[in-house]
Amino acid sequence: MPADSWHPDGWRLLLVGAPALALVALFVAPTLIMALATLQLPDDLGGLAPAVVRDEAGLHLALTLENYQRVLGDFVYLQVFLRSLGYALVVTGACALLAYPVALTIAAAPAKWRDLLLLLVVLPFWSNFLVRIYAWVLLLGPEGAVARLVNWTVAFTGAGPVVLMYTPAAVLLGLVYVHLPFMILPLYANLRRHDPAWLDAARDLGARPLTGFFNVTLPMSLPGLVAGAVLVFIPALGAFAVPDILGGAKGSMIGNLISDQFLAARDWPFGSTLALLLTLAVAGLAGLGAAAAARLPGNRHDA
Amino acid sequence: MRRSRTLFGAALAVYAFLYVPLVLVAVGSFNAARLGSSWTGFTLDWYRRLFADERMLAAAGNSLVIALAATAISVVLGTLAGLGLARYRSRALGFLVLTPMAVPDILTGVSLLLFFVLIHLTLGMASVVLAHVSFCISFVALVVRATMANLDPHLVEAARDLGASPGAAYRRIVVPVIAPGIVAGGLLAFTLSIDDFVITFFTAGVGTTTLPLQIYSMIKVSITPEVNAVSTLLMLVTLSLVVLAARLAPSALRSGE
Amino acid sequence: MMRRYCVLAALLLASAPLAARDKLHVYNWSEYLPDAVIEAFEVRCGCDLVYDVYTSNEELLAKLAAGATGYDVLVPTDYAVTALIARGQLLELDHSLIPNLRNLKPAFRDPSFDPGNRYSVAYAFGPTVLGYNVAKLESLGVPADSWAAIFEPEHLRKLKGRVTVLDDQRELIGVALIYLGYSPNDRDRAHWDRARDLILRAKPYWAAFNASNYATLLASGNVWVSHGYSVDIFQAAEEAAQAQAGIEIGYAIPAEGAYMSTDNMVIHKDAPNPRLAHEFIDFILDGEQSAVLSNEIGIGNPNAAAEPYIDEQVLGDPVLSPDGDVLRRLHSISELDARDRRDMNRLWTEIKVR
């Protein structure tokens, strides 16, 4: 690469090469190692049996495809994947529903308030992840405010007390809570660029506010929605801590299954296989999201 | 866009949804009652117990050391990457920087565990620091790249034409522009490191319990308002750091993430 | 730039250990070593005891498989000791450094998983029991001496959402096998399938699979029946008694039988401080110290010299200090081979998912 007017030759090596090397070592290499691990056998204590074995016959590879056979041949693992996909879908939908009012309000707010409102959305995200989950452990637990409120209302129908903790509903609630800011921000970024003239035109043509929203705002905001959906769906799919703490084995997702293979089942190769498949699913979804975003009508307008 | 009562009400409800749980955690840290949400009196006892709890203090110490080390390393590498991205628009580097951010934590944690075991790196402070660096570099890089947008490229060319060496051009022109970005990126990296749970969970070793790991084991085994207390303090710390970072590099934070 | 380095260096130095006291790293179950014993040991040896915890044997094994070093003393359960010995992870004990070894009851002196106590010394034992809220079970007419309380829908209907079971595949599948009349270490896949069906039939009524804080839930009255470790249930009973909120916790070894685990002290082969580790083992085997474990956390004591110091209440309790008749109903968990383990993992996933 020719040196540009800024830097002599060596600088590109430093500016691009050094961080690239670090990221290859800390990101690419571990992923490749995980891929290799899917072909290995487990060791008795956990861990991996060596891939290359020396015995009387000399050196040979101790690799196997049985992990893949197990994953693809046994329906129960697909079930976990499907359930996780389902949860992620529900969470994404719920986040979209909650995000629109906020994003629309911030976009419509006078300039001096916008930064503050935006900061208020971002702040909970930057608070400790476990603290946010813990808040719901308290609220949904037997002594918690939400549990008591729900049971107080339920008592009117004569039904017995409802347990909120350790249910799929608790997991979904926790996931929505944790990922909501990720939906609000891209949506807002898109809505901010909408021209008020569009809605005025719709109103002049006789449309009611709700029609205006569905026919004008929503379609034009699709790129933001897709971006937010990808930012919520993928982490929700790979969620581990929320289902672990709020789900108590009833709402367990693929992340928990993977963790179990490493920490309970002493089957690291199988855990790696599940993890690799999740990685491929994530890559596929991200690609899909990017392709969808590129095609959307809203993206062709540059405001 | 037109304002609407229902819309505003809905937005307010969502804001409440986001904040009320956190406020309740903070309020609960001052509640004299051990269990339950009935208020029995104001007390600072839980904070006192917190500061007397050796395991908690050790965990806080570990978190601090790890965060400082990880921040230092990722600020250096992240700044280089940010500059590299802004100037060279290398797609390979772009891919390397953006992808770790998109991958769920469980995958990063598990793959790093396998990596460390393979290279026979004993799980401990070093492994956690390296693990944190892996995701912090990207954030710093993006923040620095965003601040580079404020730099007028013609200025550097002009300086070079006038005879300045690349080093001088950087020192005098580029660095002052990206300095707020570097600091903001550093603060964000620090916050991310302090808060990380899943990746640390898989890469921590003997005696490297961090604050989130300690909180996790307390949530699972015995919940007392001490957890509320440490949560509140943690919230205050990250709040101040983020507000500070927002002041320093508002444009960087506004770029949609 | 320089200032940042100085601050960083200062902070790093400040977090370095101040005194050059020896450290002993003990990796043990949570709530399994009373503070009083820790302090007494620190005084006697002039050292610091660093205590890390795990909540399952699998977690311990996983950490070791990941190459964790720096632990001196570990406290694995019998079947985990088998695995560790097989993989050469343990230091052979120098009996000359453990004179108190003579205090061990004969039953624990030559265990099948470690003949001659070459690598391990018994620390505590205890059955997995049925813990329950006395008043609730009585008023609902649910028997407290049978695992039917957690498996039979006729009882579960009255206990819906108030039952927890251990989140441990060996423990839960084992107790299901016991209830069906088989040995819990049975490897017949047809029997495993029956156990699975039994569990899945009961699962909708259970509140949670919980191996961590079920004792607290029991003591606070939120859960009425728990499948749990005797140590935890004992502590729940103490807690409930102290809280004086009218909740009484009882525990029983059901007639069908139960698992009994023996936890053992072992020394990791890469222990940084083996001399101190031996000292610790000898210290725990002292009659008085060992008795503190029984009195504070309710373990079954393998130490004959501890008996004079153990509270009447604990000593006379057939659950906490089982013997003769009761012992016959108890089984210990055996280590599985790779194929069995894999199939059981799969069974466990199915149980969790469906």
Buried b (16+ CB within 10 A) or exposed e, A220-236: bbbbbbbbbbbbbbbbb
pLDDT at C19: 54
Residue C192 is assigned to a structural domain of this protein? yes
Q: Is the pLDDT of residue A260 over 50?
A: yes
CA–CA separation, C353 vs C331, rounded Å? 28
Q: In Å, how far are A3, C64, C120 from C89, measured between CA atoms? A: 56, 9, 12
Structure tokens at C109: 């002196």
Query: Is there a contact between B28 and B228 (Cβ–Cβ < 8 Å)?
Result: yes
Regarding whether C134 and C121 lie in a shared domain, the answer is no
CB-CB contact of B177 with B92 (8 Å): no
Q: Identify whether C9 is part of a domain.
A: no
The CA-to-CA distance between both ends of chain A, in Å, stands at 35
Q: Comparing A289 with A258, which gets the higher pLDDT?
A: A258
The pLDDT of residue C233 is 92
Residues counted in chain B: 257
**Residue-by-residue pLDDT tens, chain C, 354 positions:** 666 665 555 555 554 544 568 889 999 988 889 989 999 999 999 999 988 888 788 888 988 888 778 899 999 999 999 999 998 999 999 999 999 999 998 888 888 889 999 999 999 999 999 999 999 999 999 999 999 999 999 999 998 888 999 988 999 999 999 999 999 999 999 999 999 999 999 999 998 888 778 888 898 888 999 999 999 999 899 989 988 888 999 999 999 999 999 999 999 999 999 999 999 999 999 999 999 999 988 888 999 999 899 988 888 888 888 877 888 889 988 888 888 998 999 999 999 888
pLDDT in tens, A171-212: 999 999 999 999 999 999 888 888 888 878 888 888 777 777
* Model confidence pLDDT, tens digit, residues A68-115: 999 988 899 999 999 999 999 999 999 999 999 999 899 888 888 888
For CA atoms C92, C98, C99, C105, the dihedral sign is negative
CA distance A77 to A281: 14
User: Which of the four pLDDT bands, split at 50, 70 and 90, describes residue A6?
Assistant: low
Q: Is C344 within a domain?
A: yes
Task: Identify whether the C-beta of residue C45 lies closer than 8 Å to the C-beta of residue C68.
Answer: no
- Tell me: do C245 and C109 sit in the same domain: no
pLDDT at A302: 47
Q: Is residue C98, in this structure, part of any structural domain at all?
A: yes
Q: C208 in contact with A at a CB cutoff of 8 Å?
A: yes
- Chain A residue with minimal CA distance to B12? A102
C3 in a structural domain: no
- For residues C220 and C280, membership in a common domain is answered with no
pLDDT at C16: 52
Instruction: Tell me: do C240 and C267 sit in the same domain.
Output: no
Of C284, C293, C304, C166, give the one whose Cα is nearest residue C225: C166
Confirm whether C221 is domain-assigned. Answer: yes
CB-nearest partner of B122 from C53, C55, C67 = C67
Chains that touch B (3 or more CB pairs under 8 A): A, C
Looking at residue B169, its pLDDT comes to 78
Interface residue of C199, C200, C209 to substitute, partner A, most A CBs within 10 Å = C209
Of B113, B122, B220, the CB nearest to C213: B220
Q: Who has greater pLDDT, A294 or C249?
A: C249
As a whole number, mean pLDDT of residues A239-257 equals: 89
Q: How would you classify residue A58: left for phi > 0, otherwise alpha for psi between -120 and 50, otherwise beta?
A: left
For A163, the closest chain C residue by CA position comes to C161
Q: Do B209 and C52 touch (CB under 8 A)?
A: yes
Q: Is the dihedral of CA C226, C229, C232, C236 positive or negative?
A: positive
Q: C13 lies in a domain?
A: no
B96 touches chain A (CB under 8 A): yes
Residues of chain C in contact with residue A262, where contact means CB-CB under 8 angstroms, are 62
Do C213 and C115 fall into the same domain?
A: no
Yes or no: say if B137 and A23 are a contact pair by the CB < 8 Å rule.
Answer: yes
pLDDT tens track of chain B, all 257 residues? 445 788 889 999 999 999 999 998 898 888 877 665 677 788 888 899 899 888 889 899 999 999 999 999 999 999 999 988 888 888 888 899 989 988 999 999 999 999 999 998 988 899 999 999 999 999 999 989 888 887 887 887 888 888 878 778 778 888 888 888 898 899 889 999 999 999 999 998 877 899 999 999 888 877 888 888 999 998 888 888 878 877 776 655 554 33
CB contact under 8 A, C353 and A83: yes
Mean pLDDT value across chain A:
86
ipTM: 0.87
Residues C236 and C156 in one domain: yes
Q: Are A137 and B223 in contact (CB under 8 A)?
A: yes
Question: Domain B54-254 has what CATH class?
Answer: mainly alpha
Residue B243 pLDDT: 81
- The rounded radius of gyration (Å) of the Cα atoms in chain A is 25
Task: Please give the helix or strand (H or E) that residue C285 lies within, else none.
Answer: none
Residue of A nearest to C81 (CA): A45
> Chain C window 210-229: which residues touch B at a Cβ cutoff of 8 Å?
212-213, 216, 220
The total domain count for chain C is 2
Whether residues C222 and C349 fall in one domain: yes
Delimit the domains of chain B by residue range. 54-254
Q: Does B157 touch chain A (CB under 8 A)?
A: yes
C6 within domain boundaries: no
Same domain flag for C120 and C131: no
Tell me the angle at which helices A268-295 and B105-118 cross, rounded to the nearest 10 degrees: 140
Q: At B62, which amino acid appears?
A: N
Residue C252: give the domain boundaries: 126-258+333-353
Rounded Cα distance, B17 and B8, in Å: 14
Q: Which domains does chain A show, CATH number per domain? A: 66-300 (1.10.3720.10)
What DSSP string describes A82-98? HHHHHHHHHHHHHHHHH
| Structural tokens at position C273 | 């401080």
What pLDDT sits at residue B254?
53
Strand ranges inside C30-180, DSSP E: 48-54, 73-74, 120-133, 163-165
Residues C66 and C70: their CA atoms lie apart, in Å, by 12
Is the Cβ pair A128, B80 closer than 8 Å? Answer: no
SS3 A143: coil
Tell me: do C130 and C224 sit in the same domain: yes
Q: What is the DSSP letter of A24?
A: I
Q: Do A131 and B100 touch (CB under 8 A)?
A: no
Residue appearing with tokens 């008996």: C307
pLDDT of residue A1 exceeding 50: no
- Is C177 exposed, middle or buried, given 0-12, 13-18 or 19+ CB atoms closer than 10 A? buried
Residue in A128, A268, A282 nearest the CB of B234 = A128
CB contact under 8 A, B72 and C220: no
CATH number, domain containing residue C282:
3.40.190.10
Residue A287 has pLDDT above 50, yes or no: yes
